[in-house]
Structure 1
Amino acid sequence: MSSPLPRRAAVPRELLVPATPEGLLRLAAVEWAGMALGWAVMAWAPPVFMPLAVLVVAGRLHALGVLLHDAVHLPSRRREWRLCLLEAVAGYPIASTLAAMRYHHLRHHRDAGLPSDPYRKPPDGGRLRTAWRWFLLLSVIPGWVLRGPVGLCAWALPSLRTAYARVFLQDRSGRVLARDAEVAACARVEAGQVLFHLGVVALAVRWPSAVLWGYGIPLLVASGFNAHRLLSEHTAASVHGRTLEDVFACTRDHGLGWWGWLGLAPRHIGMHVVHHLHPQVSLTHLPRLRAWYVARFPHHYPRSS
């Protein structure tokens, strides 16, 4: 019979290595190089390679979102130049800002599996409900493109901020947010994302086919990767707190093979159980941390999906 779980594990300090803005910028440069390779294949390789190139670019866009997500967990909240640069190169291409992702993602970590969790996975309810859930998740990143102009309108008109937060920031508080400082800050910084996508529109007017295949379709595929990841890494289990047992119950690892590396779970984000246990640990250090937990709790650590 396995021993009961402690509330929290005594993890060696050398395994708890945090991310840094410099490290995330270096990884973002690698992902941009991967996208450049995909674009080169689109431009010069035979058309038969186009689907593979789209998958490569989509996977790298998904990876940029994962890097922005890692930046959300950094302790600093100042808009210093390295984080502003990371937001521009990793956030705007996937239609997000640090402030917007921080709003819903930190609430998810705080309340994972609880009724107030903005990502809470509902119980299975048949094919129609599953299809509707997929439709909603597939529309997340394209919907984020709309979040920018709506956010700017909400910045100018406080009466729009509650709806803006409910729809685009996944707020579950039930409060009126017209005077909420955090929502106002999220709305204000949408300007950068709007300028980025106005630039994309300008390029699309000049080179419509190149922008469609080089960015538009890969962004939709990346949204599909993101939908698959959200459905794979969380369960519908009801939890009552934030203990080790709760995290084991409501999260799952996934995408630990080649498909994960290609795009379904890039940069080790598929090691989601230990990420929830230690969200400030850098994604690049999750493999060692996961190995420690699997060895320490072999009978309790959830099986990957």
Structure 2
Amino acid sequence: MVPSLPRRAAVPRELLVPATPSGLLRLAAVEWAGMALGWAVMAWAPPVFAPLAVFVVAGRLHALGVLLHDAVHLPSRNREWRLCLLEAVAGYPIASTLAAMRYHHLRHHRDAGLPTDPYRKPPEGGRLRTAWRWLLLVGVIPGWVLRGPVGLCAWGLPFLRTAYARAFLQDRSGRVDTREVTACARAEAGQVLFHLGVLALAVRWPSAVLWGYAVPLLVASGFNAHRLLAEHTAAPVQGRTLGDVFACTRDHGLGWLGRLGLAPRHVGLHVVHHLHPQVSLTHLPRLRAWYVERFPHHYPRPRSY
């Protein structure tokens, strides 16, 4: 007889290790070093290695987004200098801000699988429909680039804020928090300045910016689209219990391909991340092992590819 699930599991405290701003900055420095390696290959290696270099840079951009995502779950909301720096080096390159990601991502965790979930996955519809959904999701990060100037307009023009929240912050609640939306709109200034700088570089060195940043960013958006489809299910849920999380999330990208680009920094350990979102991504493997050992009949099997 399969034992029933408790509402929540009694996890040892030593497994619940949170992220820190300093730790995330160190990891961001590693990802920037990886991008520098990819750019060096583009500049000096034979052209046959260019696709591999694009893949490396795209994977590191995706990893920067994962680090920003980890920062969203930090308990502190203070704008200390380390978080400001992390936002600049991990958020702006992927066209996001802490405020914007916090807006839609925390609502996703609160309402995962429910009608108000910003990332709620529609029912499965075969490979063709999945491919179409992936194609639509590829436009998410390029759309974030557009979100910046629209957000600045919404900051100055209050009547645009509801549309900005629904179109670019994925608000499905029907009750837009005006103060939080205004803060998100104001925060767009930094990423707009960043991309104006990229545009200025593109005028001077168009080919370098195209292959060193624009194409990898689009590939990274493809990785992100795949991840969103892989880590959620369309299973109906009624609440936020352990069983609900097991039903609507799944792990993926546990192999080398995931580590390189599709699910870097253990972000593919999505089930335990939903159970304990404030646990650092670097500590999720031990936490997952604990859950798999104690709930072997219930813990969902990872998605393989």
- What is the TM-score normalised by the length of structure 2? 0.98
1:285 aligns with 2:273: no
> 3-state SS of the aligned residue for 2:299?
coil
What is the distance in 2 between the residues matched to 1:264 and 1:41?
A: 21
What is the distance in 2 between the residues matched to 1:128 and 1:265?
A: 23
Residue of structure 2 in register with 1:216 after alignment: 214
- CA offsets, 1:54-109, max 9 Å, x none? 00000000000000000000011111111000000000000000000000000000
Residue of structure 2 in register with 1:47 after alignment: 47
Residue of structure 2 in register with 1:119 after alignment: 119
> 3-state SS of the aligned residue for 1:189?
helix
State how 1:142-221 maps to structure 2 within 5 Å: 142-175=142-175, 177=176, 180-221=178-219
Q: What is the aligned counterpart of 2:233 among 230, 235, 239? A: 235
1:63 aligns with 2:63: yes
What is the distance in 2 between the residues matched to 1:72 and 1:131?
A: 29
- How much has 1:126 moved relative to structure 2? 4.7
- How much has 1:132 moved relative to structure 2? 3.4
- CA offsets, 1:191-232, max 9 Å, x none? 000000000000000000000000000000000000000000
* Structure 2, unaligned runs of 5 or more: none
Residue of structure 2 in register with 1:270 after alignment: 268
What is the distance in 1 between the residues matched to 2:161 and 2:143?
A: 17
- CA offsets, 1:147-200, max 9 Å, x none? 00000000000000011000100001223x4x7100000000100000000000
Residue of structure 2 in register with 1:296 after alignment: 294
**Partner AA of 2:169 in structure 1:** L
CA gap of 1:129–1:202, structure 2 versus 1, over 3 A, is: same
**Partner AA of 1:58 in structure 2:** A
Residue of structure 2 in register with 1:93 after alignment: 93
Q: Percent identity?
A: 88
State how 1:135-146 maps to structure 2 within 5 Å: 135-146=135-146
- Matched pairs, number: 303
Q: What is the aligned counterpart of 1:251 among 224, 235, 249? A: 249
What is the distance in 2 between the residues matched to 1:78 and 1:124?
A: 40
- How much has 1:129 moved relative to structure 2? 3.8
Structure 1 window deviating more from structure 2 (209-218 vs 130-139): it is 130-139
- How much has 1:135 moved relative to structure 2? 2.3
> 3-state SS of the aligned residue for 2:116?
coil
**Partner AA of 1:275 in structure 2:** H
- How much has 1:233 moved relative to structure 2? 0.2
CA gap of 1:271–1:155, structure 2 versus 1, over 3 A, is: same
Residue of structure 1 in register with 2:35 after alignment: 35
Structure 1 window deviating more from structure 2 (286-295 vs 122-131): it is 122-131
What is the distance in 2 between the residues matched to 1:105 and 1:154?
A: 21
* Structure 1, unaligned runs of 5 or more: none
What is the distance in 2 between the residues matched to 1:103 and 1:67?
A: 16
> 3-state SS of the aligned residue for 1:304?
coil
- What is the TM-score normalised by the length of structure 1? 0.98
> 3-state SS of the aligned residue for 2:222?
helix
1:19 aligns with 2:52: no
**Partner AA of 1:125 in structure 2:** G
- How much has 1:286 moved relative to structure 2? 0.3
**Partner AA of 2:258 in structure 1:** G
**Partner AA of 1:209 in structure 2:** S
What is the distance in 2 between the residues matched to 1:53 and 1:14?
A: 39
CA gap of 1:256–1:45, structure 2 versus 1, over 3 A, is: same
